[in-house]
Chains A and B, each alone.
Chain A
Amino acid sequence: MPTVAVITSAFEDSAALMARVCGLPGYGFAVVGHPISSAKDQELADKARQVLVQAERLLLG
């Protein structure tokens, strides 16, 4: 199942390590700026746009 896993920038390295130890080295993630917990609605809208752009590359690449 093609999957886009969305993470924040603070977790890029641990996500990469987790992908490697699970047998998927180099697995690509959609990365948005950290944190999202306190982000305002317009910021979240911008982040959703960023996810969409990255997803296209990850799913078709």
Chain B
Amino acid sequence: MYVLDPTAEAEPHPVSRAPRLGSLYHRSIGLLSNGKAAVAPLFDHLESLLRQEWKADEVLRRTKGNYSAPAEPDLIRELARCHLIFTGVGD
């Protein structure tokens, strides 16, 4: 007898990584919080380090409305003007 595979059997479409940055200094950096309580103070510390050590020109802080869902499109659009983004924290 034959039986059928119950899994999706679907391979994901490959996604390419973003081009590597040549330098981390003097960048515009986005910090996207998922909204959980401890992320704000963690990102406060991270922002200080980015300004002091990476000489960040700008640190743009944004917070998702729902930490269990993808970020809202308008947040993504706002952050898209940054050179790089930190997002977190998955806990």
Taking a contact as CB atoms under 8 Å apart, the answer to whether B90 and A1 are in contact is no
Query: Which chain A residues border B80 with CB–CB below 8 Å?
Result: 1
Instruction: Tally B residues with Cβ within 8 Å of A.
Output: 36
Instruction: Tally A residues with Cβ within 8 Å of B.
Output: 38
Instruction: Decide: A3 near B18, CB < 8 A? Known: A36-B38, A37-B38.
Output: yes
Taking a contact as CB atoms under 8 Å apart, the answer to whether B90 and A23 are in contact is no
Query: Which chain A residues border B53 with CB–CB below 8 Å?
Result: 52
Secondary structure dominating the interface of A: mixed
Taking a contact as CB atoms under 8 Å apart, the answer to whether B46 and A2 are in contact is no
Taking a contact as CB atoms under 8 Å apart, the answer to whether B20 and A48 are in contact is no
Instruction: Decide: A37 near B18, CB < 8 A? Known: A56-B24, A59-B84.
Output: no
Query: Which chain B residues border A24 with CB–CB below 8 Å?
Result: 15, 17
Query: Which chain B residues border A60 with CB–CB below 8 Å?
Result: 20-21, 24
Q: Which residues of A contact B (CB under 8 A)?
A: 1-8, 10-11, 15, 20-24, 27, 30, 32, 34-39, 41, 44-45, 47-49, 51-52, 55-56, 59-61
